[in-house]
Amino acid sequence: MSNLVPRPLSVRTLGRRASLSDGMVVSSDPACAGVADLLANELESATGWRISRGGPEASSPAGTVRLRISSEFGGGAPAVRAGVAGEGYRVPAGPAGVAGEGYRLVSSEDGVEVVGAAPAGVFYGTRTLLQLLPADLHRAAPPGPTGAVEVEGVEVTDVPRFGWRGVHLDVARHFFPKNFLLRLVDLASFHKLNMLHLHLTDDQGWRFQVKRYPRLTEVGAWRRESPVGHYREGKKDGKPHGGFYTQADLAEVVAYAARRFVTVVPEVDMPGHMQAAIAAYPELGNTGKQFEVLTTWGISEDVLNMEESTVAFCSGVLNELMDVFPSPYIHIGGDECPTVQWEASERAAELCRERGLAGPKDLQGWFTARVAETVAKRGRSLVCWEEVLDAGAPAGCVIVPWRAETALSVAERAAASGHRVVMAPEPWLYFDWSYADDPAEPVAIRPAISVEKAYSLEPVPEGMPAEQEVMIAGAQCQLWTEYVATPEHAEYMYFPRVCAFAETVWSSRERSWPEFEPRLAAHLARLDALGVNYRPLAGPTPGQARVWPA
């Protein structure tokens, strides 16, 4: 497989190799000119070569990479039928589905050609081409003169198994600079992931600028201090923390990601996990008390009240969110919403009677339905964590199962109820867990998810009926950041587990860790060239470790 990660559908060795050198050309038809320009820029930076761009007929004796769209693309890739692209391949709700993300790459003495049914497929073919080049060509600038480069003679035919291949980042517990979001897009798309889920708000911070409600960032974006060490120790660092993204910042991230065929899915968690918002606007709460943004980890009992004015507030937030994010999916969280304050509130009981609800536990379902109306008016689909299935998930809502004890059964119930499902089960995909139960590992919420464990994920629950399987849109890996405060630490927690995860959602069901491990070991040279602070397979380096090795 030429040490390709994730593993393609098929690779066939050809006779002679392609050769690329200074003066080469990247030719393309108009539909994928943007992909051609991106590839040419990457190669120019890495090699120092002068690379021309040209139309479909352009070529050069120094080497040619041809990119084109073809409605006849197939090349052995499974045909799309009845919502399934071949055995076990899922088509998402997107316009082209996984068929539009497939490609065929041929490298021979005639040059390199990448053909896809849509620009996304051509883009993924160029990611494979980059992996066929020497690892040093992943650097931002050449470490020395770059001579002619040979590209292995192969024919690669490829199509992803799932349409939702996501990476999640919690920027609420710790704020991450915009440049890291752009870097994460680069690293995710390099591994053929196509969804970036940004968890923008929580009890500990609000990171999204809402122009009609400025106190959300004036107050809610900052906390007085943060826990230090493991939460069980009960220690605080005494240092203010915070930050937020302007709408222009996030629009920039969205545009940057779109060029790399990554959809940015924003999450504003509601009606729970809203203490930062209530600190900014106390009238949103149930007690009327003024308090501060939460300075501990965990779940606050201060949740939104269920007044019509609060629904209007949330609709205003979501409309500004949808102005910035064109994503067809809008995530409202819905997880871990305590009902203690509603159960103690005479006003909540009165609202239940007025609305014909059995009791306070039904208020979240009522609220979710109202918010869903706002999202639906803009032609978007709601995404929620698994708890919303019990609270009352609106039709068309995408459900994300996550809890270790319930994720698989929730996936089955959601699919049987007609909901699309994105798998995110803790024991495989919560990358805030440590790699190993070892004192050398940095402090983490709990042990342990090894790279091999992440690779063992099967997104479709065992025994799920075929008619429900097609509702599994894909999966995503999560990085919650209570214990992850810097981009360097985030990269450590993501990689190389993200590499393993990428193969579970792109490649076929039939996978083998002994076959994958040597490919991954070779792939780490590319991460070295990219400057990724990944965890070595043997364990943390002395600079990454929490304690000096004995």
Residues designated catalytic: 202, 273, 336
Nearest-angstrom CA–CA distance, 217 and 244: 7
Contact in structure between 130 and 4 (CB atoms under 8 Å): no
C-alpha–C-alpha distance, residues 431 and 448, integer Å: 9
Q: Which residue has the tokens 């918010």?
A: 371
Sign of CA dihedral 383, 504, 507, 168: positive
Picking from 266, 97, 262, 136, the residue whose alpha carbon sits closest to that of residue 191 is 262
How far, in Å, CA of 254 to CA of 142, rounded? 29
- Residue 460's nearest CA partner among 500, 417, 509 is 509
Give strand pairing partners of 103. Answer: 116, 158
Contacts 24+ apart (CB under 8 A), 308-316: 309/283, 310/284, 311/367, 311/370, 311/371, 313/213, 313/281, 313/284, 314/270, 314/371, 314/374, 315/371, 315/374, 316/210, 316/212, 316/213
In the 8-state DSSP scheme, what is residue 478? B
Question: Which residues are within 8 A (CB) of 145 and not within 5 positions of it... i.e. 6 or more apart?
Answer: 48
Partners of 478 in the β-ladder: 430
> Rounded to an integer, what distance in angstroms lies between the CA atom of residue 497 and that of residue 197?
17
- Looking at this protein, which amino acid is placed at residue 176? F
CA distances from 309 to 82, 273, 306 (A): 44, 19, 8
